[in-house]
Structure 1
């Protein structure tokens, strides 16, 4: 079955190193929380809010051993008024035997507020506080 794993993180500043480092942190946690192998990933889509343009966050995936050939693309989020600023979102599509409710979506930093229902659920199941 192909499943989507969602994640999001925020950065304090539109600075290249912070963008790539934060994205790497998010990706590594998504991989860890869901026991994902690169060979099981169809593609990774990364979106950013309009206030992030100092770097391509996709560079972070290339810092992770074994992920060289995973297709990745960056795009912009819809600029909805009042939406969370300086936010990086990830959608990872993976082949897995896990059921939908077994997928651990990861929200870090201020992005926890995007889906507190999922963050609360994961902390109840013993995952690290997001």
Structure 2
């Protein structure tokens, strides 16, 4: 966040989700990288602007922590990251990785791109079709 125009910056929340074809380190790594690439390519936010990131995974995923994948990205090693297991609800989308990011941004909440990729695009079709 720039020191000069802090009045324009607001704390914002960004949601996103994706799915994986299998419970493996490779599949989860590919999906998390793709999800975070979409986040960074379509939003004016850097790790320095982030307050915290919470990843959740469905109970069928345990090959690797999504935060461990994110921590390998440039400058993400300073962001507070947390992994949790998503609540299981009968009939809910399996093999799903989600995130909730809180960060400071100078754009309105309505202009934020929330990446919903792969099988997760059906969770929020109103956000999945929006691109910057």
Whether TM exceeds 0.5 here: the answer is yes
**Dislocated runs of 4+, deviation >4 Å:** none
Find the structure with the greater CA-based Rg.
2
State the secondary structure of the residue aligned to 1:63. Answer: coil
Q: CA deviation at 1:51?
A: 0.4
Normalised TM-score (structure 2): 0.89
Equivalent residue pairs, number: 123
1:56 matches 2:65 = yes
| 1:65-106 Cα distance to aligned partner (Å, 9 max, x none) | 121100101001110000000000011111011111011100
| Structure 1: gaps of 5 or more residues | none
Contact residue 21 and residue 60 of structure 1 kept, 8 A = no
Normalised TM-score (structure 1): 0.90
Q: CA deviation at 1:110?
A: 0.3
Alignment partner for residue 107 of structure 2, among 79, 98, 105?
98
State the secondary structure of the residue aligned to 1:28. Answer: helix
1:30 matches 2:47 = no
Single out whichever of 29-38 and 72-81 deviates more from structure 2: 29-38
The residue number in structure 2 matching 1:107 is 116
Cα separation, 2, equivalents of 1:27 and 1:43: 14
